[in-house]
Structure 1
């Protein structure tokens, strides 16, 4: 059975969760007897492809997104059309959302829906690109022979918002990729005070501003713990103004940028990992924290209770008081923290890339 993953996401993300997911699954399915796997990346910028068996990748890597990206996208589409017509795969797994059919006649199509954030939070649709993304998602899901959702929460939202036949929707959970190395030579250039760890983007539905307000509202937590924010861009002017307005100096709320191995160290040494998001399609950082024995404190919304199970201290993400109270329960109770670590180590066993790949294989077979 010939499986092809298309080019879309690999010219959009240099790094990122979606491209990592595709690479992890493709690498593993290629090792299963009876599957001929190709990633039709074309002209791409993605770094995760470097971890994939080079025999699977068709394309050429560039270091940066050029000003002519629109032209390159068109060339990628034309090259893909020619290659697919000549090679006729059994299944095309679209890596993102396209308004037009990519698969040639006779090939079956699969698309993965990662979340319904734009549809749930209508304010995001004020942006033209976000509106186009939503329209593309509608077309891609209606056209697909089968849809994978990465959580039951995402599946439920998809079926509620779009007119989709539930029989063509399956849930396949993600795995996690951070490797726990015994020794990592990386030092955080801050005072040695214990810290709360936040990882990822911070805008909008990520609810970072309420986290700042909750942190500022509790003098004990402020005194005893820093707040370390890892990933994304440096603090914006708006964020810096809010930090100042809340009376939080730069020695308390700190932004750092790291690679994966330094992130492992941050998780491993954090007092808690906090995830205040209003909505997630899955919540991969929860599994990363659990796998590295870091207690998890997170929102009680969307897919997060589904993924975390009993291995998290939950809060209402719309309430700064609830956020602060949940932090206190874990930060000032070694018994609760140890219990969450124990529960997390068990919970994370339910999620692996091997299981994700095997379930995806079974789905592919069912379509032929």
Structure 2
């Protein structure tokens, strides 16, 4: 069986959860006897592909230079179609949302839908943001759709009126973060802290976490709030902090690689995940795998991932966020319970299992 993954996401993402997922899926598939896997990305900027097994990649890595993004994307898309036709695949997995298929082979086309964030939270995106419309086009023409959570499947059924037989839920895996011996104290000093990871704008609800942290004299007096992510604190975020009476020594941003993130998880008193919506949510699994207690929202797919291994709050209620964090941090027994539950919970999610369940659908469609 020959499977092709198209170039879309690899011409757009240098790093990112979607390209990591596709790479992990292809890598696992390539180990199955009788399965021939190719990621057809004639020109790409993706670091995961750059480091992947060359046997599963057709294409070349190019540097991402200013004002070249559209050119790279267009050239890769044009080449992807002709290259894939010569390969004569049995099935094509489209890696993101497009109005028309890049690989126009007369074989089953499948798609993964990660979330319905643009549809649920349109105010978090500009009026000209095209993803929702492109997603609708891709969904309508796909022969089968993978959803990364039951929550995504329910949203897709509700918003696009799709028959359930066209949908399959396949939970994601996660990658063990590198542990290099780096200590959190080197990054943020010795004082205790709670940890926030990833995006902070809009539905990610970082402002709700800031308000909850500031509302508790006990929290803000005994713990710092460390934010890990690519972007430094914005002027708006610093303005909100000032308005809440929080100083730059209380709320700290740290960027960098996975070795730093692993050190911060291991050193944190707890990991707090205040997002109002997630299609899946890998950070809680990363935290649990490194014995960091998880305190998180009770909405969307998050309870599916975290299960009984987290302390939950209502992300729309500041008092709820504050109370849940205080409840965990004021109880060493509860923290230890969450750590023990988390160690077992994260074992349920692996790329191997994700690939096995995905391949079963491929084989059924390609018969």
Please classify the TM superposition score into its range, dividing by the shorter chain length.
Answer: over 0.9
Q: Which 10-residue stretch deviates more, 34-43 or 198-207? A: 34-43
Q: Is the 8 A contact 1:112 1:148 kept in 2?
A: yes
Residue 357 in structure 1 maps to residue 363 in structure 2? no
Distance in 2 between the 1:189 and 1:263 partners? Answer: 10
Specify the alignment match of 1:78 in structure 2: 78
Aligned counterparts of 1:287 and 1:249: Cα–Cα separation in 2: 30
Give the corresponding residue for 1:336: 334
Q: Contact 2:212/2:321 (CA < 8 Å) preserved in 1? A: yes
Please give the alpha-carbon distance, in whole angstroms, between the structure 2 residues aligned to 1:46 and 1:4: 17
* CA displacement, residues 191-236 of structure 1 (integer Å, 9 cap, x when unaligned): 3111100000100000000100100000111111110000131011
Matches within 5 A, 1:118-157: 118-124=118-124, 126-129=126-129, 132-157=130-155
User: Residue 96 of structure 2 aligns with which residue?
Assistant: 96
CA distance in 2, matches of 1:315, 1:7: 39
Count of residue correspondences: 366
CA shift, 1:65, in A, is 4.3
1:236 corresponds to which residue?
Answer: 234
- Deviations along 1:111-145, one digit per CA (max 9) or x if unpaired, are 0000000111132454312xx21111011111111
- Give the RMSD, CA atoms, in angstroms: 1.4
- Cα contact 1:178–1:260 (8 A) shared by 2: no
Contact 1:178 1:264 in 2 (8 A): no
Equivalent position to 1:296, from 294, 297, 302: 294
Runs of 4+ in structure 1 off by over 6 angstroms are: none
Distance in 1, matches of 2:346 and 2:67, equals 42
Residue 186 to residue 308, structure 1, CA distance change in 2 (3 Å): closer
Retained in 1: the 8 A contact 2:40–2:84?
no
Q: Which runs of 5+ in 2 are unaligned?
A: none
Distance in 2 (CA, whole Å) between partners of 1:65 and 1:16 is 18
Cα offset for 1:27?
Answer: 0.6
CA shift for structure 1 position 182: 6.6
Q: CA separation in 1, counterparts of 2:281 and 2:348?
A: 14
Task: Identify unmatched segments of 5+ residues in structure 1.
Answer: none
Say whether 1:178 aligns with 2:179: no
C-alpha distance in structure 2 between counterparts of 1:214 and 1:185, whole Å: 28
Contact 2:5 2:95 in 1 (8 A): yes
Deviation at 1:306, TM superposition (A): 1.0
In structure 2, what is the Cα distance between the partners aligned to 1:347 and 1:92?
32
Query: Quick one: distance in 1 between partners of 2:70 and 2:177?
Result: 36
Aligned equivalents of 1:176, 1:73: Cα separation in 2: 27
CA distance in 2: counterparts of 1:185 and 1:311, whole angstroms = 25
What is the deviation of 1:55?
A: 1.6
Contact kept in structure 2, 1:180 and 1:292, CA below 8 Å: no
